Amino acid sequence: MARYFRLDEKRLEQAIKEMEYNLAMENYARCADTWQGAWGTRDAILEMPLGELTNEGIAGFVWAWNAKHMIKTADIDKHDRFNAQGLEGKVIIETSFATALIAARELPAYRRAVSVKDS
C-alpha cells in the first residue's frame, strides 16, 4: 500500500525553492535530471479548498486536470488546517510531485497541501 507524507508549510516552501533552483535555466543542465529523477516524478497529492479552482495562477492546470478527469472532491476535515470555513469542500489531485509543487506555489499558504509518496 502506498504511503504518503504530508509536507508542513515550512517543508512545502523549502521543496518549492529547491525545485525552482534545480529547474532554473542556469542550473538546468547540471541539476534537472538528478532532481527530476529523485523527486519530480514521485507520486504526490495536491489538496486545496474547492474555491481555489478559480485561481488564475493555476487555470491551465485546472483545465488539464478537468480534461483528464483527475479532479476529486471531498469534505474538508479539521486536520486539513485550510484557511476555510469547511463549507466549500476540498479538491484532491493525484499528480507528480513536480506538478503539485508548481501548482502549490501559485496558491496562498494555508490554502494548499502537498503529500508525497514515500520511495
Q: What tens digit of pLDDT does each residue of 60-72 get?
A: 999 999 999 999 9
Q: What pLDDT, on the 0 to 100 scale, is given for residue 19?
A: 87
d(CA 20, CA 112): 18
Query: Amino acid identity, residue 13?
Result: E
Can you give the residue ranges of every domain in the chain?
4-117
d(CA 47, CA 90): 7
Per the DSSP assignment, residues forming a β-bridge with 95 are 44
Q: Are strands 113-117 and 90-96 parallel, antiparallel or unpaired?
A: unpaired
Entry pTM? 0.89
How many other C-beta atoms can be found within 10 angstroms of the C-beta atom of residue 83?
Answer: 9
